[in-house]
């Protein structure tokens, strides 16, 4: 994205880097690697998005239009895996790479080569997933949760998915180690933990979550692999195992995973809202504690994904209460953001629009989460489109909107140019409207009892499905505008100052725009 | 707790918003809420959901009301000068404690409903429901009708699935054999599965219980009105996941007794069939029907299967080789694959017929007629 910047003679002299492909293959520069992560993420976002459009096209009306049911299941599975592991997680690692060193006054990430390696591992992992569509028997058609015994029945596409998960796991663990070390050891002198930017804080906590749970997921899929090929029976009752064991292990990973994808987003929003309110973040310390509480609680709620698997009523009650409790620190965050805006001097540039959109949609997702937390009610909604709507409100709205906010907020820093504010706003409104058109109606489908992951449906669900499909195509097409905005901004546009947002705070705004290839070689001192 | 189901409600309002947005009149085709409850528990759940929605919408309006006020009054273009405050411990404590209090108020009634929902003791009738790829099996274990068992398979004609015939009202929600139960009786459901995880989900009865292979789970309902209640498998179970509906028919007690008697008679004639010697043509004709219901999803009507997923039976070694191998494959299945053991699912007559059909259909022209007694001899 950013090539060598003008006027950076002192830094250019220092690092003679290879050009062309070799530069990207061998780079250990945090900005290059951040750029790679972001482009990779966008590519996977398109791939996963096309899969979503295939799903929505199939569901546009009753009957089978496009694909056979087994293909449908495969596409559903890959859409989930690709969006979570290929699009969302790498996007935030990309932001972390670019911004954490800039924000904490470090010259680079702690482990340059490890950083390079954790990016390049993503390529074989994603290729395994995508090519599994074309092997005999096709990809795994089991949902991103990979539940056995169905996943035991699958063909070799399932093995490819398992290996892909292994590699993705290694990649994100390496990335997390790097982030933790960087944040803990490379901060500018005087930047105590409680002076750290929120983005660094949320990523620090996220990185610990990743290290805690990715190995658990890797273990679970390895057990699937041995059940499939080496005669073990971890998950087969006939051999003394239990399919529910897999669900416990999976969700012990899976629930913290949803906070892994959302916490860095919280961090971003905590920068954007104050910047455009021209007022410091309200309740910084309580934000830090709220983030930590969410992370800790996230280890105790996995059972709410299994309310219908059959668990003792005492277990259901425990998971219900624990889940409801998460609403408290989440609420604190929302209240703090609102208080930050209160009596500020607000302007509504694109990052701010996406940040407000984020809060609006995320709160809706949070509320449907509260409804789902009530075990008795969940039984009516589990595995229906209500759940689909819920997690798209938290994950798409939460992660994607915060990612868009981040891109628009930091794009001037990356490229040295301002993007088109007018087009940015159009992008926001299109995304906002089509997102709601796609997913709001899915609440009604779920309430009426439409199960998820079905390729064809009863006639009573037809109208809302048609609306949802139209919305999805609008949502997908709107993202081409985003691509256009970013590319034109890279190529040119009004020159961006070092600090293009008058209300923004933080060290990243003290280096030139575009940020020189090497920054903070002498660390700033924080008073 | 017999609160009536309230009809005008918050999701309706939210729904109206969505509808207004799309400038479409609200008509009956847009179901905006749960299906009409048919049990007391389902009603409680309905009301709990409404109540929670009201709380959520209230909080939503408060929070975003404040935000909207800021957005309008504190904008820079309106001359807003930023204030400098950025913390206040008292207010942080306040907005931590108030949500906790609200949650406690919500948790109590939900817990009560949950406890009632899980108390499956003293049932009048117990039915075991078994999930198969892709159909349901019902075994009446206890109470009036004990001993009745049957399979329940999607009854929507293929032409409608293919879009070659107009789709009926209950498209994809019809089965050949309904699960019939009497009204106002406590019915306990035991779920289990023969292959992968399925989930027995009937919204109007407020039941969704996963069917786990190798384990038994339970749930119960007491329908307080007569009617036909439809649901679907809720857990992804392979390619036929969208095609295994559930139909529960709640009838008055006398009608239930009559249904039980009729089922008993059917089962008796079925038992007689097992002992008679069948003609080849009869077997093929019956076998084709069995094949269409039970095997076509995987092996396909033309017997060609789906390459590298489900083997072809047309010309297959098993279907053209020794009878005994064929009988054994169908009876005991192939553990660890999608090929289930049909021994526990089908009668000797059905198995004999379907094997006969497979050995004489397509290019398989063995002329073999398999008798039920031969199947019986292989069972152990
Ligand atoms: Cu099923």
pLDDT at position A82 is: 95
pLDDT digits (tens, 9 = 90+) for B180-233: 999 999 999 999 998 899 999 999 999 999 999 999 999 999 999 999 999 999
pLDDT at position A5 is: 39
End-to-end CA distance of chain B: 52
pLDDT, greater one: A279 or A526? A279
pLDDT band at A247 (very low <50, low <70, confident <90, very high): very high
Give yes or no for a contact between B210 and B146, defined as CB atoms under 8 angstroms apart: no
Indicate whether A221 pLDDT > 90.
Answer: yes
CA Rg value for chain A: 23
Q: Is B355 domain-assigned?
A: yes
Q: Are residues B100 and B176 located together in one domain of the fold?
A: no
Residue with tokens 């290729």: A127
Query: What rounded mean pLDDT belongs to chain B?
Result: 86
Q: What would the mean pLDDT of B147-162 be, rounded to a whole number?
A: 90
- Asked if B71 lies within 8 A of A341 by C-beta distance, the reply is yes
Indicate whether B254 pLDDT > 80.
Answer: yes
Give yes or no for a contact between A298 and A229, defined as CB atoms under 8 angstroms apart: no
pTM of the model: 0.87
Angle between helices A89-104 and A156-185 (to 10 degrees): 10
pLDDT band at B68 (very low <50, low <70, confident <90, very high): very high
Q: Are residues B148 and B263 located together in one domain of the fold?
A: yes
pLDDT at position B19 is: 46
Please identify, among B79, B95, B118, the residue that sits at the C-terminal boundary of a domain: B118
Which residue, among A143, A174, A188, has the nearest Cα to A161 in the 3D structure?
A: A143
The stretches of A86-236 forming alpha helices (DSSP H) are 89-104, 112-120, 122-131, 150-153, 156-185, 198-229
Give yes or no for a contact between A63 and B164, defined as CB atoms under 8 angstroms apart: no
Q: Which two tokens stand for residue B204?
A: 């109007």
pLDDT at position B249 is: 95
CA A18/CA A31 separation, integer angstroms? 15
CA A6/CA A351 separation, integer angstroms? 27
A382 in contact with B at a CB cutoff of 8 Å? Answer: yes
Indicate whether A353 pLDDT > 70.
Answer: yes
B120 C-alpha vs ligand 1 centroid, how far in Å?
Answer: 24
CA B155/CA A357 separation, integer angstroms? 46
CA A449/CA B203 separation, integer angstroms? 6
Q: Is B295 domain-assigned?
A: yes
Q: Strand order in B217-221's β-sheet?
A: B149-152, B135-142, B125-132, B187-193, B217-221
pLDDT at position A266 is: 95
Q: Which two tokens stand for residue A518?
A: 């090497």
Which residue, among A504, A497, A413, A399, has the nearest Cα to A1 in the 3D structure?
A: A413
A284 in contact with B at a CB cutoff of 8 Å? Answer: yes
**Does the CA dihedral A353-A356-A362-A363 come out positive or negative?**
negative
- Which of A88-97, A291-300, A465-474, B335-344 has the lowest average pLDDT? B335-344
pLDDT at position B346 is: 86
Q: Are residues B34 and B137 located together in one domain of the fold?
A: no
CA B323/CA B312 separation, integer angstroms? 17
The stretches of chain B forming alpha helices (DSSP H) are 10-21, 40-73, 89-118, 158-161, 253-275, 280-294, 296-299, 317-320, 323-332, 348-360, 372-378
Q: Is B166 domain-assigned?
A: yes
pLDDT at position B296 is: 87
Question: Within a 10 A sphere around the Cβ of A319, how many other Cβ atoms?
Answer: 23
Give yes or no for a contact between B228 and B248, defined as CB atoms under 8 angstroms apart: yes
CATH number of the domain that residue B300 is part of: 1.10.760.10
CA–chain centroid gap for B353, Å, is 29
pLDDT at position A46 is: 96
CA A4/CA A10 separation, integer angstroms? 12
State phi, psi for A383 to the nearest 5 degrees: 60, 25
pLDDT at position A16 is: 62
Q: Which 8-state DSSP code applies to residue B154?
A: B
Dihedral, CA atoms, A147, A151, A156, A161, nearest 10 degrees? 0
Q: Which two tokens stand for residue A441?
A: 């109606």
Q: Are residues B67 and B153 located together in one domain of the fold?
A: no
CA B215/CA B220 separation, integer angstroms? 17
Structural domain range at position B306: 280-378
Q: Are residues B336 and B363 located together in one domain of the fold?
A: yes
CATH number of the domain that residue B244 is part of: 2.60.40.420
pLDDT digits (tens, 9 = 90+) for A45-96: 999 999 999 999 999 999 998 899 999 999 999 999 999 999 999 999 999 9
Q: Are residues B160 and B60 located together in one domain of the fold?
A: no
pLDDT band at A6 (very low <50, low <70, confident <90, very high): very low
Residue B251, classed as helix, strand or coil, is: strand
Q: Which two tokens stand for residue B358?
A: 């497979």
Please identify, among B118, B147, B177, the residue that sits at the C-terminal boundary of a domain: B118
Q: Are residues B231 and B304 located together in one domain of the fold?
A: no
Q: Which two tokens stand for residue A360?
A: 């609006």
* C-alpha pair distances (Å), A458 with each of A63, A65, B19, B174, B245: 9, 15, 21, 10, 10
CA–chain centroid gap for A513, Å, is 27
Angle between helices B348-360 and B323-332 (to 10 degrees): 130
Q: Are residues B83 and B137 located together in one domain of the fold?
A: no
Indicate whether B272 pLDDT > 90.
Answer: no
Residues in chain B: 380
Q: How far is B38 from chain A (nearest CA, A)?
A: 13
Q: Are residues B238 and B288 located together in one domain of the fold?
A: no
Q: Are residues B308 and B250 located together in one domain of the fold?
A: no
Q: What is the largest CA-CA distance in chain A?
A: 70
State phi, psi for A62 to the nearest 5 degrees: -60, 155
pLDDT digits (tens, 9 = 90+) for B6-43: 444 445 555 545 544 443 333 344 577 888 899 999 99
Please identify, among B94, B118, B142, the residue that sits at the C-terminal boundary of a domain: B118
pLDDT digits (tens, 9 = 90+) for A255-275: 999 999 999 999 999 999 999
A66 in contact with B at a CB cutoff of 8 Å? Answer: no
Q: Please list the residues that pair with A230 across neighbouring strands.
A: none
- Asked if A331 lies within 8 A of B232 by C-beta distance, the reply is no
Residue B32: its chain A contacts at CB < 8 A? 444, 447
pLDDT at position A2 is: 37
Q: What would the mean pLDDT of A497-513 be, rounded to a whole number?
A: 91
Indicate whether A228 pLDDT > 80.
Answer: yes
- Asked if B172 lies within 8 A of A70 by C-beta distance, the reply is no
Q: Is B1 domain-assigned?
A: no
Residues 88-127 of B with CB under 8 A from A: 88, 91-92, 95-96, 99-100, 103, 106-107, 110-111, 113-115, 117-118
pLDDT at position A8 is: 40
Catalytic residue among A37, A144, A385, A409: A144
A331 in contact with B at a CB cutoff of 8 Å? Answer: yes
Dihedral, CA atoms, B185, B190, B196, B200, nearest 10 degrees? 20
Question: Within a 10 A sphere around the Cβ of B80, how many other Cβ atoms?
Answer: 19
CA A209/CA A97 separation, integer angstroms? 18
Q: Please count the structural domains in chain B.
A: 3
Q: Is B186 domain-assigned?
A: yes
pLDDT, greater one: B380 or B138? B138
pLDDT band at A15 (very low <50, low <70, confident <90, very high): low
CA B25/CA A144 separation, integer angstroms? 37
Question: Within a 10 A sphere around the Cβ of B330, how many other Cβ atoms?
Answer: 26
Share of chain A above pLDDT 90, in %: 84
Q: Is B2 domain-assigned?
A: no
CATH number of the domain that residue B90 is part of: 1.10.287.90
Q: Which 8-state DSSP code applies to residue A523?
A: -
- Asked if A451 lies within 8 A of B114 by C-beta distance, the reply is no
Q: What angle do CA A172, A177, A178 make, to 5 degrees?
A: 95
Q: Is B313 domain-assigned?
A: yes
Q: Are residues B111 and B138 located together in one domain of the fold?
A: no
pLDDT band at A323 (very low <50, low <70, confident <90, very high): very high
State phi, psi for B345 to the nearest 5 degrees: -95, -35
pLDDT band at B315 (very low <50, low <70, confident <90, very high): confident
Q: Is B179 domain-assigned?
A: yes
Q: Are residues B134 and B109 located together in one domain of the fold?
A: no
Share of chain B above pLDDT 70, in %: 92
B339 in contact with A at a CB cutoff of 8 Å? Answer: no
């Amino acid at each position: 994205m950013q090539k060598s910047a003008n006027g950076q003679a002192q830094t250019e002299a220092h690092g003679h880097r290879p050009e062309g492909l070799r530069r990207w293959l061998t780079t250990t520069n945090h900005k290059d690697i951040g750029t790679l992560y972001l482009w990779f993420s966008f590519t996977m976002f398109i791939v996963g998005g096309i899969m979503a459009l295939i799903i929505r096209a199939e569901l546009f009306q009753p009957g089978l239009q496009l694909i056979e049911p087994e293909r449908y299941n495969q596409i559903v599975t890959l859409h989930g895996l690709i969006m979570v592991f290929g699009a969302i997680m790498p996007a935030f690692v990309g932001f972390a790479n670019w911004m954490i060193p800039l924000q904490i006054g470090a010259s680079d990430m702690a482990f340059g080569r490890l950083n390079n390696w954790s990016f390049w591992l993503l390529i074989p992992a994603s290729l395994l997933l995508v090519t599994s569509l074309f092997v005999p028997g096709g990809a795994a058609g089991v949902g991103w949760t990979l539940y056995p015994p169905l996943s035991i029945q699958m063909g070799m596409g399932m093995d490819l998915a398992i290996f892909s998960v292994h590699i993705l796991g290694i990649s994100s663990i390496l990335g997390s180690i790097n982030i933790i070390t960087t944040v803990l050891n490379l901060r500018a002198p005087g930047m105590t933990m409680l002076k750290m930017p929120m983005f660094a804080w949320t990523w620090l906590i996220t990185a610990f979550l990743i290290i805690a749970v990715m190995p658990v997921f890797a273990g679970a899929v390895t057990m699937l692999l041995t059940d499939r090929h080496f005669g073990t029976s971890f998950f087969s009752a006939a051999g003394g195992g239990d399919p529910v064991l897999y669900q416990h292990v999976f969700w012990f990973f899976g629930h913290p995973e949803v906070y892994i994808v959302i916490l860095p987003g919280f961090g971003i929003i905590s920068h954007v809202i104050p910047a455009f309110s021209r007022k410091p973040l309200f309740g910084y310390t309580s934000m830090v504690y709220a983030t930590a509480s969410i992370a800790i609680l996230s280890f105790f709620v996995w059972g709410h994904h299994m309310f219908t698997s059959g668990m003792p009523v005492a277990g259901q009650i425990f998971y219900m209460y624990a889940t409801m409790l998460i609403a408290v620190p989440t609420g604190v965050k929302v209240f703090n953001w609102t208080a930050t805006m209160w009596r500020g001097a607000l302007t509504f540039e694109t990052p701010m629009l996406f940040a407000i959109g984020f809060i609006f949609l995320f709160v809706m997702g949070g509320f449907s989460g509260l409804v789902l937390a009530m075990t008795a009610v969940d039984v009516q909604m589990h595995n229906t489109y209500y759940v689909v709507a819920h997690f798209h409100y938290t994950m798409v709205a939460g992660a994607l909107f915060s990612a868009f906010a981040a891109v628009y907020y930091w794009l001037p820093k990356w490229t040295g140019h301002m993007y088109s504010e007018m087009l940015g706003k159009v992008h926001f409104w299109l995304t906002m409207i089509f997102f709601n058109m796609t997913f709001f109606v899915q609440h009604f489908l779920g309430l009426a009892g439409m199960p998820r992951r079905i390729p064809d449906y009863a006639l009573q669900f037809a109208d809302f499905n048609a609306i949802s499909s139209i919305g999805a195509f609008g949502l997908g097409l709107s993202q081409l505008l985003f691509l256009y905005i970013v590319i034109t901004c890279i190529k040119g546009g009004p020159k961006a100052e070092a600090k293009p947002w008058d209300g923004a705070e933080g060290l990243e705004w003290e280096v030139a725009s575009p940020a020189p290839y090497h920054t903070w070689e002498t660390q700033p001192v924080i008073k | 707790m017999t609160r009536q189901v309230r009809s005008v409600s918050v999701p309706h309002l939210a729904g109206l918003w969505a509808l207004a947005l799309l400038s479409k009149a609200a008509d009956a085709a847009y179901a905006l809420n749960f299906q009409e409850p048919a049990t007391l528990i389902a009603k409680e759940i309905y009301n709990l959901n409404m109540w929670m929605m009201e709380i959520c919408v209230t909080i939503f309006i408060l929070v975003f009301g404040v935000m909207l006020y800021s957005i309008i009054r504190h904008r820079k273009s309106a001359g807003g000068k930023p204030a400098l405050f950025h913390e206040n411990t008292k207010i942080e404590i306040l907005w931590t404690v108030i949500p906790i209090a609200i949650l406690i108020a919500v948790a109590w009634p939900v817990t009560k409903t949950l406890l009632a929902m899980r108390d499956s003791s003293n049932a009048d009738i117990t039915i075991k429901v078994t999930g198969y790829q892709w159909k349901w099996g019902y075994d009446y274990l206890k109470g009036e009708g004990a001993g009745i068992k049957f399979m329940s398979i999607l009854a929507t004609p293929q032409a409608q699935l293919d879009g070659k015939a107009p789709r009926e009202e209950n498209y994809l929600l019809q089965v050949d054999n309904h699960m019939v139960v009497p009204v106002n009786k406590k019915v306990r459901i035991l779920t289990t599965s023969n292959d992968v995880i399925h989930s027995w989900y009937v919204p109007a009865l407020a039941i969704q219980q996963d069917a786990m292979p190798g384990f038994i789970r339970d749930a119960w309902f007491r329908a307080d009105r007569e009617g036909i209640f439809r649901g679907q498998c809720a857990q992804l179970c392979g390619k036929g996941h969208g095609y295994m509906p559930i139909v529960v028919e709640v009838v008055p007690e006398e009608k239930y007794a009559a249904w039980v008697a009729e089922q008993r008679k059917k089962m008796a004639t079925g038992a007689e069939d097992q002992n008679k010697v069948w003609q080849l043509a009869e077997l093929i004709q019956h076998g084709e029907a069995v094949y269409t219901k039970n095997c076509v999803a995987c092996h396909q009507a033309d017997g060609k299967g789906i390459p590298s997923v489900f083997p072809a039976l047309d010309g297959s070694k098993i279907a053209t080789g020794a009878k005994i191998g064929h009988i054994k494959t169908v009876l005991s299945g192939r553990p660890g694959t999608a090929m289930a053991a049909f021994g526990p699912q089908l009668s000797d007559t059905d198995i004999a017929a379907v094997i006969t059909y497979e050995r004489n259909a397509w290019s398989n022209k063995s002329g073999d007629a398999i008798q039920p007694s031969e199947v019986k001899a292989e069972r152990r």
